[in-house]
Chains A and B, each alone.
Chain A
Amino acid sequence: MRRVSPLILAFVLVPFVIEAVWVFWPALQGFWLALTSWDGLSAPRFVGFGNFSDMVSDPIFRTALKNTAIWLVLFGGLSVIGGFGMALLLQRERRGVGIYRAALFTPVVFSLVVTALIWRVFYQPDGLVDTVFRTVGLGNFVRPWLADPDTALYAVIVPALWRQIGYVMVLYLAGLKAVDPALYEAAKVDGASAWQRTRYVTIPQLKGVNSVVLSVIVIDSLRSFDIVWSMTRGGPYHSSELLSTYMYSTAFQSTQLGYASALAVVIFVLALAVILGYLIRAFREES
């Protein structure tokens, strides 16, 4: 290959250094701070793994961890099922399909704050949700959805799903488009039913998309912050707290910066397997 000119080196190094300053260096500091106790005023004090052992006896941490797991299963699982189902229903180009796709996709362009406010209007006492429940005779179930510790988490998951399903659908639609139609023809000739074609042709062909969707969903779930913060701030009584919201309020409201960094490290460790999987796949494609 050709000799590398100084200009090309600068082309690569300048962006790399910018990312190093704004991402790599702060990330290393973040890992270091996780081993300290720090109020932001005096110097950080090294405490080893003290923050992590504190977590074991921290009930809010356990709630946040449990809620993050629920979030991963419900938000992640349902958005994959919903998105894949919708993609199957809307994959064939025919009249009207464009409109249906656009309808499902519309919420994806909104910010999560906009999504949150749309649904807060919905959930208001005597708002549309309550009205609908009363109309169909379920008036007994009506409650302050976001202010009731039993329902708050689920009342936040619904809008998050509303926005995510269209996104997952688009990923699967792209994947389905890439499946060779000859495979379906062959299966049809062999007498496979529609269900069998989905099960034995479509799903195996989507292996690549599945792993991308899986990584995106896990990373998105662990990062989820905006929607919870805009709807409940993790309350009431931490009932909708996720690790990400707990980390934020620990850092910027109670300024326990060491403990908050340790919480961030927990989020990182949970995401690590997926990040590594993603990188290994990217690495293979490069070679």
Chain B
Amino acid sequence: MIRRTGYHVAMSIVSFLWVAPILWVIVISFRSFDDVAANGLGSLPHSFTFSTYKSAWEDADEFRALINSLLVTIPAVLLSLGLASIAAYGLARYSIPFRRTILLLMLMGNLLPPQILLIPISRFVELIGYYDTLIALIAVHVGFGLGFYTFVLHGFMRDLPREIQEAATIDGAGPGRIYSSVILPLTRPALAALGALSFTWIFNDLLWSITVIRSGEKMPVTPALLGLQGLFVSSWNVIAAGTVIAAVPTVAVFLRFQKHFVGGLAIGAVK
């Protein structure tokens, strides 16, 4: 009994300390500038205001940055999963020559440190005239993520029973039809997990954004948040508000797809 109480007390303290930094930043985001200036960032709040959020949203134009993020993230997620699922389908269900080599090459591409690609990619997008466009950013995310998604979906599709495909073939369905109305619906759990994961990965990206995008008004919200620091030097309450705004979308996706999300992270672990 005492042990159990001790356990819960200790774990409650750890959990509280873990979320404390987040709570603290939320508290600061509602403090007025005068309050912060007079009492310091380490004190308890003496004020309550929404003007910090207004500054971050309008003056720093985080609204536009959020739109940019969604304009990149949503097409990138859909395209990567769409392309990865057709590749995985072909590789898992048909005897393509060199299928194993192809699959491993694709996975290897995803394991490369991105640093090796930065300079050639920034040159390449410049060459084809897409430097500083959201399209370039989408293409980079799709290209770099494909290998991993294909690998995971391949593992999933390979384990589906052979008979369903045979039954569909006897009924006269072609390969395209089998993909769209038999295999894809059965792969939905894996697609949901990867969808939730890739949304946060792409939304949270910094490195690729600052490599292929230059103008401030095209920056997605994650890199834009860094710019906020320069814009509101030492207005930490506004920066805190901007941080909260930038964190909301991924938290929302996480809460909505919690089970898939955690399941997705664990996909690699139990193999």
Contact = CB atoms under 8 A, between A and B. Distances in A.
A96 B15 CA distance: 11
Contact of B116 (A9, A11, A127, A265): A265
Contact of B207 (A90, A222, A225): A225
B206 A112 contact: yes
A15 B41 contact: no
A209 B203 CA distance: 27
Given A121-B24, A286-B103, A109 B116 contact: no
B118 interface: yes
B108 A7 contact: no
A8 B270 contact: no
Contacts of B108: 275, 279
Interface string A109-137: 11111100111111010111111100000
Closest 4 interchain pairs by CB?
A: A22-B143, A131-B42, A174-B266, A111-B204
Contact of B147 (A23, A114, A124): A23
A160 interface: no
B269 A109 contact: no
B90 A109 contact: no
B262 A251 contact: no
A1 B97 CA distance: 12
B268 A170 contact: no
Nearest to B124: A26
Given A11-B175, A131-B42, A285-B271, 14 more contacts: A2-B94, A11-B87, A12-B102, A14-B83, A26-B121, A33-B119, A96-B8, A109-B253, A111-B247, A124-B41, A170-B266, A248-B115, A257-B119, A263-B115
Interface residues of A, number: 102
B114 to A, nearest CB: 7
A279 B116 contact: no
B42 A251 contact: no
Contact of A216 (B174, B243, B268): B268
Nearest to B224: A113
Contacts of A248: 115, 118, 207
A111 B246 contact: yes
A9 B96 contact: yes
Given A23-B117, A114-B247, A252 B211 contact: yes
Contact of B18 (A162, A216, A225): A162
Which of the listed residues B19, B21, B102 has the most CB atoms from chain A within 10 Å of its own CB? B21
Interface in A146-162: 162
B251 interface: yes
A254 interface: no
Interface in B98-155: 99-100, 102-122, 124, 139-140, 142-144, 146-147, 150-151, 155
B211 to A, nearest CB: 7
Contact of B269 (A27, A118, A171): A171
Nearest to A135: B42
A178 B108 CA distance: 27
Contact of A170 (B16, B87, B262): B262
B43 interface: yes
Interface string B216-260: 000000110110010000001001101100110011011000000
Given A14-B83, A29-B120, A279-B104, A128 B113 contact: no
A127 B31 CA distance: 14
23 contacts: A4-B94, A14-B86, A16-B87, A16-B106, A23-B143, A23-B144, A27-B116, A27-B117, A100-B11, A103-B19, A106-B22, A113-B226, A117-B225, A128-B42, A170-B266, A171-B269, A174-B266, A209-B270, A219-B113, A222-B113, A260-B119, A263-B115, A283-B100
Which of the listed residues B105, B143, B174, B225 has the most CB atoms from chain A within 10 Å of its own CB? B143
Given A114-B247, A117-B239, A8 B175 contact: yes
Which of the listed residues A2, A16, A261 has the most CB atoms from chain B within 10 Å of its own CB? A16
A27 B119 contact: no
Contact of A113 (B115, B121, B206): B206
Given A15-B86, A33-B120, A118-B243, A103 B270 contact: no
A271 B110 CA distance: 13
A99 interface: yes
A89 interface: yes
A267 B128 CA distance: 28
B41 A264 contact: no
B146 A170 contact: no
